[in-house]
Amino acid sequence: MTQEVLVAIGTRKGLFLASGDGWKVTGPHHPMTDVYAVAIDTRREKPRVLAGVTSEHWGPSVAVSDDLGQTWEEPDHAPVAFPEDTGATLGRVWQLAPGPADQPDVVYAGTEPSALFRSTDGGRTFELVRGLWDHPHRKDWFPGFGGQAVHSVIPHPSDADHVTVAMSTGGVYRTTDGGATFHPSNSGIKAYFLPDPFPEYGQCVHKIAQHPSRPDRFYAQNHHGVYRSDDGGTTWKSIADGLPSDFGFPIVVHPHDPDTVYTFPLVADGHRFPPDGRCRVYRSRDAGETWEALDNGLPKTPYWTTILRDAMCVDNADPAGVYFGSRSGDVYGSRDGGDTWVRIAENLPDVLSIRAAVV
């Protein structure tokens, strides 16, 4: 029996939703806004869709829908805002992450500038997590090419006090005391552009992923470098051998198999194109020891576009689906773990973020 999957696609000009046989696409929802962050929260009886939208006129906000995008709630005040004493102004919301299953009203937001916010009302209002904002390393964090932002937020699936974040540029940080303190977790991640190539912090981590049933297993795509951690992010090991390049933006882990991971390599930081101009997702089924190229159903013509850090995801179906969207507005999906692909949408605006879930 085919499971009903919703795919939420954030773009530079609004949010699009795809579902059903043949992938019916609706939108744009929130037209002419940048949608850097989307989430599909399935912890309740009714799934909730959240979108981090940024309007050129109204600024950044978070919109919520409890009917799969038919209607939306958006507060008349800024749901994510820095306290006056910080002297900071919110640029945009880069990440929306539902908390653990036993805290169905907790949602986290990662922002630009680099900060973590926490909601206890399902994503309608957020408060700054001071432990990260007041960290003594803050003075040394600086913008990557895309800005200074917390772009990965990963709450532990069963320990509410444990949250892992990653930022450009700064690296991976963890809290195990509910956000009171954060500690850098970058041992083994190389920063070739710094005088000390293995610093305590300062790495330009592009994305991290955690396996939900094996929370000590993490994967990371760095600014040159692909890594695995088997101890919750304390130490990292390179798994880039076998890939055509170690540069890229997204990395996602299979929802049911902690040894299966996906990425989309690009040539290099100065040449942000797929190697040889070929559209290929790379999959490892042995935790990064070996890699295989997946392109059955993907474009065979030269493909010179980029897949951004949040523009690839998996769903929670069985068999699992894998999805990605490009800066040229194509969206592809696989309902068999990457073996075969179909085009879900084309000619959309730049795809910035994508999430999928059984609804």
Question: For a pLDDT cut of 70, what percent of the chain falls above it?
Answer: 99
Amino acid (1-letter code) at residue 46: K
Q: How many domains in the chain? A: 1
CB 92 within 8 A of CB 112: yes
Residue 1 pLDDT exceeds 70: no
Range of the domain at 180: 5-358
**Average of per-residue pLDDT values in the chain:** 96
- Predicted pLDDT at 2: 66
- Predicted pLDDT at 145: 79
Strand order of the β-sheet with 149-155 is 149-155, 163-168, 171-175, 183-184
Confidence label for 144 from pLDDT (cuts 50, 70 and 90): confident
Confidence label for 76 from pLDDT (cuts 50, 70 and 90): confident
Token representation of residue 333: 């999906």
Confidence label for 147 from pLDDT (cuts 50, 70 and 90): confident
Residue 19 pLDDT exceeds 70: yes
Confidence label for 194 from pLDDT (cuts 50, 70 and 90): confident
Q: What is the tens place of the pLDDT at every residue in 239-290?
A: 999 999 999 999 999 999 999 999 999 999 999 999 999 999 999 999 999 9
Per-residue CA distances from 300 to 278, 280, 303, 313, 326 (Å): 7, 10, 8, 22, 15
- Among 296, 299, 283, 288, smallest CA distance to 341 is for 296
What's the rounded Cα separation, in Å, for the pair 114 and 218? Answer: 21
CATH number, domain with residue 293? 2.130.10.10
Q: What is the tens place of the pLDDT at every residue in 340-350?
A: 999 999 999 99
Is the pTM of the predicted complex or chain greater than 0.85?
A: yes
